[in-house]
Amino acid sequence: MKDARVLGVLGGMGPLAGATFMQRLTLLTPAERDQDHIPSVLWSDPRVPDRTAARIAGGEDPLPWLMRGIRGLEAAGCGAIAIPCNTAHGWFDGMQAATRLPILHIVEAAADELLRLGITGGPIGLLATKGTLAMRLYQERLESRGHECLAPPAEEMDRVVMPAIELVKANKVSAAYAPLAEAAQRLVARGAKAVVLGCTEIPLGISAGPALPFPVADTIDALARAAIAWAKPAG
């Protein structure tokens, strides 16, 4: 696919998030027929070693697996890469240094999504993996935009948030709704004006139940909007 803006999607982390990214990319694209949609290639390799385990428990380095996917997307003729996995962005600099293709950064997309929601400053709740929190992927970027980041305490991360993320990866999506909705609610009770769903499994769980009564920045939708802006630049 060499004659158009073809989007490369490095997915599989997890696979349901990657597939849902493709669905949201399609549904958010203005289109009247197949041929109006964005050509894209999804490289869905769920064998990439666990990103949180790699960062905080000495697990296998995912970077060689991530680079294998990027080489596949380059060979397919893609012009940019979107990675619907927040934790994988801990290896962003290594990936970006190794490819000439621009990689759309999911945290920048999430920050833009907050603006789109009309949230221009103040405390923001952050639901993410322990790896994403430990690597501080969100904290500096959001603080530079005038936000303070509130995350669940470590005990709640272990007891509630990480098990809920695992439920989604095990296809038990509906069961993830209640714990994630309650964790988000507790961040709002602590003063958050909005909650960033900063792990792409989390919006899948949150979508399985009633809409939350406060603003949330869904990082799957945020990255899809960034990809559409890349593929179909205005003007």
Q: In whole angstroms, how close is the CB of 6 to its own copies at the nearest point?
A: 8
Q: Which is nearer to its own copies, 68 or 159 (CB)?
A: 68
Smallest separation, CB 169 to its own copies (Å): 5
Q: In what order do the strands lie in the sheet with 124-127?
A: 149-150, 124-127, 195-197, 216-218
CB 182 within 8 A of CB 160: yes
DSSP H/E element including 143: helix 139-143
For its own copies, the binding residues in 75-104 under the rule CB under 8 A are 75-77
74 lies in the binding site for its own copies (CB under 8 A)? no
Binder among 61, 140, 158, 166 for its own copies (CB under 8 A): 166
- Antiparallel, parallel or unpaired: β 124-127 and 195-197: parallel
Q: What's the CA gap between 95 and 70, in Å, rounded?
A: 8
- Residue of 173, 167, 195 whose CA lies nearest to 182: 195
| Residue 75, Cβ density class (10 Å: 0-12 exposed, 13-18 middle, ≥19 buried) | exposed
59 in contact with its own copies (CB under 8 A): no
Task: Yes or no: say if 146 and 120 are a contact pair by the CB < 8 Å rule.
Answer: yes
Q: Is 171 in the site for its own copies (CB under 8 A)?
A: yes
- Please, what is the minimum distance in Å from the beta carbon of residue 145 to its own copies? 31
Is 201:165 a contact under the CB 8 Å cutoff? yes
**Total binding residues for its own copies by CB under 8 A?**
45
Contact between 23 and its own copies per CB under 8 A: yes
- Catalytic annotation, pick one of 10, 48, 85, 223: 85
Distance CA 86, CA 2 (A): 28
Q: Rule CB under 8 A: is residue 120 a binding residue for its own copies?
A: no
Residues 174-233 that bind its own copies (CB under 8 A): none
56 is an interface residue for its own copies by CB under 8 A: no
Query: Is 199 annotated in the active site?
Result: yes
Active site residue 85: yes
Residues making contact with its own copies (CB under 8 A)? 1, 4, 12-16, 18-20, 22-23, 25-27, 29, 31-48, 50, 68, 72, 75-77, 166, 169-171, 173
Active-site amino acid positions: 85, 199
